Amino acid sequence: MREAAFVKQNKEKWIAFEKAISMGSHTDPDALVDGYIQLTNDLAYAQTYYAESKTLLYLNSLASQAHQKIYRNKKESGNRIIEFWAKEFPLFFKQYHSTLGVAFLIFAVATAIGCISAINDSAFLRLILGDAYVNETLNNIAKGEPTAIYKNGSEIGTFLGITINNIRVAFLAFAFGVITSIGTAYILFSNGVMLGAFVTFFYTKGVFFEANRQIWLHGTIEISVIIIAGCAGLIMGNSILFPKTFSRRVSFMKGAKDGLKVVVSTIPFFIIAGFIEGFITRYANMPNWLAFLIIGGSLFLIVYYYIVYPIVLNRSHERQIHRT
């Protein structure tokens, strides 16, 4: 539809809504909200087809005024944060499942490369993991405690240090999306290679099972959420490379906002992973069934929240829309 036809079709509705918001408390609240929803739909259409036009500027201004009128005196619900993680984010994230798949594929390929390289070249391990870490771990293996490194430091200190570092890595994976998806792909790839070399190191020393039983207690959530943070970076990076019908600036702003939502969603999971590493992983003598219960529960939590739950919630939401 041409812009002039779009304006002609909706002009009277916009003028009526503009008068309604100027009347403030004298307007029916339900009618005001309905008008606001229609306006945001028109705004979204204009952003897609009439980017940087005067129509878009007008609708942006009108939507901003309406938002202030409607929500100025509205108290924020105490459950707003819970609502974000319970409903708003899962509904939103379903559209980026394919991007998550790409992030996982990049990481998986890099991990395989790290494994193969570590098996075929012992020097590769020291290049990736560093001499200090390799030497300390070799000493721990000789003592019969391959994961004794996780016992270093206090429980609270380890929890805080690991959590902060993991969140830093996640935001780094996201931030590198500023230099397009290639930047985030590099972070995913380098972390994948490191993981591959890391687990292969224990395999070459004959302690693969003992070590991985402990490592994946916290690593299941930690690695999964790094991949999800990589998905956030790809969202932002792709918005630069593939703006679709938006201008590149508008597309980037939308991609950055969407990517940031994804990164923010990972913070509670990094806290859980940090807690497990600080308070649980250090106890290498726990029964196998308990270790596998924690690992399996962690994997279920990630898969359900980021994959299954968004699908289920979106289907339920679509059914509600069809009923109305």
Give 42 or 1, the one with higher predicted confidence: 42
- Kind and range of the H or E run holding 317: helix 309-323
Q: What is the pLDDT of residue 319?
A: 76
**Of the candidate ranges 23-27, 126-130, 174-178, 280-284, the one whose mean pLDDT is the lowest:** 23-27
- CA 59 to CA 87: how far, in whole Å? 28
Band (pLDDT 50/70/90 cuts) for residue 187 is very high
Residue 112, C-beta contacts closer than 8 angstroms, at least 6 positions apart: 196
Range from 24-33, 38-47, 231-240 that averages highest in pLDDT: 231-240
Residue range 252-310, pLDDT digits in tens = 988 999 999 999 999 999 999 888 888 887 776 788 999 999 999 999 999 999 999 99
- CA 294 to CA 299: how far, in whole Å? 9
Q: What is the pLDDT of residue 174?
A: 92
- CA 220 to CA 227: how far, in whole Å? 11
- CA 223 to CA 18: how far, in whole Å? 50
User: What is the Cα 183 distance to its own chain's centre?
Assistant: 16
Alpha-carbon distance values, 131 to 134, 137, 195 (Å): 5, 10, 16
Give 92 or 36, the one with higher predicted confidence: 92
The pair of structure tokens assigned to 240 is 């630069």
Alpha-carbon distance values, 68 to 17, 72, 74, 118, 311 (Å): 14, 5, 10, 58, 33
- CA 75 to CA 33: how far, in whole Å? 16
Q: What is the pLDDT of residue 156?
A: 78
Give 237 or 38, the one with higher predicted confidence: 237
117-143 burial, b at 16+ Cβ within 10 Å, e below that, comes to bbbeeeebbbebbeeeebeebeebbee
Identify the residue whose tokens are 């304006």: 7
pLDDT at 51 over 80: no
- Percent share of the chain, pLDDT over 90: 39
Count the neighbouring beta carbons within 10 Å of the beta carbon of residue 157.
11
Q: Averaged over 154-177, what is the pLDDT?
A: 83
Helices (H) and strands (E) in the chain, counts: 14, 0
pLDDT at 30 over 70: no
**Of the candidate ranges 6-20, 120-134, 204-218, 267-281, the one whose mean pLDDT is the lowest:** 6-20
**Of the candidate ranges 7-11, 154-158, 185-189, 279-283, the one whose mean pLDDT is the lowest:** 154-158
Alpha-carbon distance values, 137 to 121, 143, 278 (Å): 18, 10, 18
Give 107 or 74, the one with higher predicted confidence: 107
CB 237 within 8 A of CB 181: yes
Angle at 71 between CA 65 and CA 73, to 5 degrees: 115
Helices (H), 121-247: 122-129, 131-142, 155-175, 181-204, 208-241
CB 258 within 8 A of CB 276: no
